[in-house]
Amino acid sequence: MALIKELLGKTPQIGADTFLAETATIIGDVKMGKECSIWYNAVIRGDVNYITMGDKVNVQDNAMLHCTFEKFPLIIGDNVSIGHNAIVHGCKIHDNVLIGMGAIVMDDCLVESNSIVGAGSVVIQGTHVKSGEVWAGTPAHKIKDISEELLEGEVNRIANNYVKYSGWYKEGGQ
């Protein structure tokens, strides 16, 4: 069973039909929507500020979600995929976003809807990724506008697949 830990009087609130892997850790002031999935060794640490997540958010294996004391909470919209080994810290991620494997999104960043942050990218503090853009690199920069094929074939496909995958792990899942 996942480690769900109350801290400083704040208990994580887990949305309906959410999958939590046995080694996932969720601490403190965390609120997540429905149909989320938190995978193996992922850590969501709402100890120094709050973390909110919308519906259909998947936080893949070894990802780290955190925030900054008294400055930057972490706010994540709906239909967001956070790839394996990613670090998402004290920023705002809107709806329909893919944060690639091993990417880092730092404090005070804004990633608008329908966007992709490529695998291995480092989005430095205060960066604004506008709606419909694909960013990559270290430091990350805009490389192109998102196509309908990328939006449907990657962003939405991955989010929907993780709802399906989580069903395999739930009791009675197919």
Nearest Cα to Cα of residue 170 among 32, 37, 31, 41: 37
Residue 174 has pLDDT above 80, yes or no: no
Q: Does domain 3-169 have CATH number 1.10.10.10?
A: no
β-strand partners of 37: 19, 58
CA distance 153 to 140: 22
What pLDDT, on the 0 to 100 scale, is given for residue 162? 97
Domain range list for the chain = 3-169
CA distance 85 to 119: 10
Residues 144, 153, 53, 7, CA torsion sign: negative
Residue 67 has pLDDT above 70, yes or no: yes
Q: Is 0.85 surpassed by the pTM of this model? A: yes
Residues 159, 163, 164, 168, CA torsion sign: positive
Mean pLDDT on 101-110: 98
Residue 55 has pLDDT above 70, yes or no: yes
What pLDDT, on the 0 to 100 scale, is given for residue 170? 83
Q: Is 168 exposed, middle or buried (0-12, 13-18, 19+ CB in 10 A)?
A: exposed
**Average pLDDT of the residues of the chain:** 96
| Cα–chain center distance at 96 | 11
Segment 140-168, tens digit of pLDDT: 999 999 999 999 999 999 999 999 999 99
